[in-house]
Structure 1
Amino acid sequence: MLSSVLLVDDDRTANFLHKLLVNNMGIAGQVLVAEDGQQALATLAGASVPPALILLDLNMPVLNGLDFLTRYAQLPPATPRPVVAFLSSSDHALDQARAQHLPVDAYLTKPLTREKLQGVLQQYFPQ
């Protein structure tokens, strides 16, 4: 079981559904939620233990996913470093190419499904 998962999405319905999915799968002790990149940075700064997995929306107001990652990369590295997965409604090759230059481990398209989340877990958290 993962220590925690951080969901970052400005869509409250998406956060609700993603939290429900994570809880129903029983994969994390805690599910943290932020509605933009700025809230996510504050959540990370206040966390005694970093989340094992960050599911990060690409397009958000205040601080979008790309800008969050730029600022996140400037922070002192967490040990262990969380797995970061972009979760976006965009499947454009340009967005995926930009993500390759940032500390992103996976690029998932919405909607998040049990199968997509299971794929990330199998790849980055083998048992």
Structure 2
Amino acid sequence: MPQISAILLVDDDPSTNFLNESTLYELRLTEKYLTASNGEEALRMLQECSVSATPEQPVLVLLDMAMPVMNGMEFLEAFHDLPQAVQQATVIVILAMSMPSGDLARLEDYPIAGMVSKPLTKEKITTVMQLYFSQQNR
């Protein structure tokens, strides 16, 4: 499986983050795992870690949609204002249990690579990696 520069988990639930980190660590996809509890914190972290990211070795963002301070949809809106280089070096995958149909329709307006249902498993992240990070798809 290809290496990526970093994985950024964005979820306000510490238990979910712990389980997701455990799953990701076992796969050894990167040496840099970051966790943010809301979209605002995630934007700051993304700008910092995107310095070493490239479209060939991007930052993978696993984004929950229901969070305090700045939710996933607000994060996506603010992501559009980041420098183009940061946007190009970032792959966003929504990680959610369920979403209102109105939000699902709005996602088409944002640069997300896909959506994965919670809980995150080795099989699901392996599929994400194969779909979005294989050489022929980059």
Structure 2 unaligned runs (5+)? none
Q: Which residue of 1 aligns with 2:62?
A: 55
Structure 1 unaligned runs (5+)? none
- Work out which structure has the larger RCO, using CA pairs closer than 8 Å and 6 or more positions apart in sequence: 2
Q: Which residue of 2 aligns with 1:11?
A: 13
Instruction: Give runs of ≥4 in structure 1 deviating > 4 Å.
Output: none
RMSD: 1.6
1:12-35 C-alpha deviation (Å, 9 max, x unpaired): 111111111111111112101100
Q: Structure 2 length normalisation: TM-score?
A: 0.84
Identity %: 39
Q: How many residues align?
A: 127
- Give 1:78's match in structure 2, choosing from 85, 98, 103: 85
Structure 2 counterpart SS, 1:75: coil
Q: Structure 1 length normalisation: TM-score?
A: 0.91
- Give 1:45's match in structure 2, choosing from 44, 47, 51: 47
The alpha carbon displacement at 1:91 in A equals 4.8
- Change in 2 beyond 3 A, CA 1:126/1:82: same
The amino acid that maps onto 1:82 is: T
1:50-73 C-alpha deviation (Å, 9 max, x unpaired): 452100001100000010010011
CA distance in 1, matches of 2:6, 2:101: 30
The alpha carbon displacement at 1:81 in A equals 2.3
